[in-house]
Amino acid sequence: MPIVIGGFEAQAIAVALEKMNPSRPLTHDLMKNFMTAFSIDLHEIIISDLQEGIFFSKLVCSSDHDTIEIDSRTSDAIALAVRFGCPIYTYENILSNAGIVMDEKNQTSETENAEAISATVAESADNDLKNMNVEELNKLLNEVLESEDYMRAIAIRDELNSRKNK
């Protein structure tokens, strides 16, 4: 089911998928920390409605005393689901209206999708990374993490990893 997600939200999702640890918590990390601190569990995400091309979602949360559904933007719900490792569900009517059918040869695993994102980011990064030494790359990595440029950090990390594997 294709869902259009803004750049910042996509970056927040990519950071969680890549298991990166920013120097300061992103908004979704803060939300997870807050929920954990107050013993609130996120059990699942439900993409509950589709109106004029916009998806509506709910967070199904529980504490020791209650279970509630909280309205959420779908992009935020996905960013939290990745962090909590919880499932994402939707209804059959939403799938029939907005879903696309992929044949077997077009299906990819979550790992392949994450690798494709990393490859795309790496390709778009400056070729300067290949001309830098490991010390310079590590320094640059710290700088881009400080400035919260996580997409660039992924490209630098991938360059460092490729050198380690050689």
The label of the residue with tokens 């910042």 reads 8
More confident residue, 55 or 4: 55
What is the per-residue pLDDT across 148-163, written as a single tens digit (0 to 9) for each? 777 777 788 888 888 8
* Of 25, 2, 16, 14, residue with least CA distance to 122: 14
100-134: string of b/e by CB count within 10 Å (b at 16+)?
eeeeeeeeeeeeeebeebbeebbeebeeebeebee
Let me know: does 35 contact 24? Beta carbons within 8 Å.
no
* Backbone dihedral region for residue 65 (phi beyond 0: left; psi -120 to 50: alpha; all else: beta): alpha
Please provide the average confidence, as pLDDT, over all residues in the chain. 82
Band (pLDDT 50/70/90 cuts) for residue 127 is: low
Q: Would the pTM of this model clear 0.75, i.e. be above it?
A: no
| Domains, the chain | 1-101 (3.10.690.10), 106-166 (no CATH)
Residue 111: pLDDT over 70:
no
Query: How many Å apart are CA 155 and CA 137, to the nearest integer?
Result: 10
Mean pLDDT lowest for which of 35-39, 47-51, 126-130, 161-165?
126-130
- Mean pLDDT over 14-41 rounds to 89
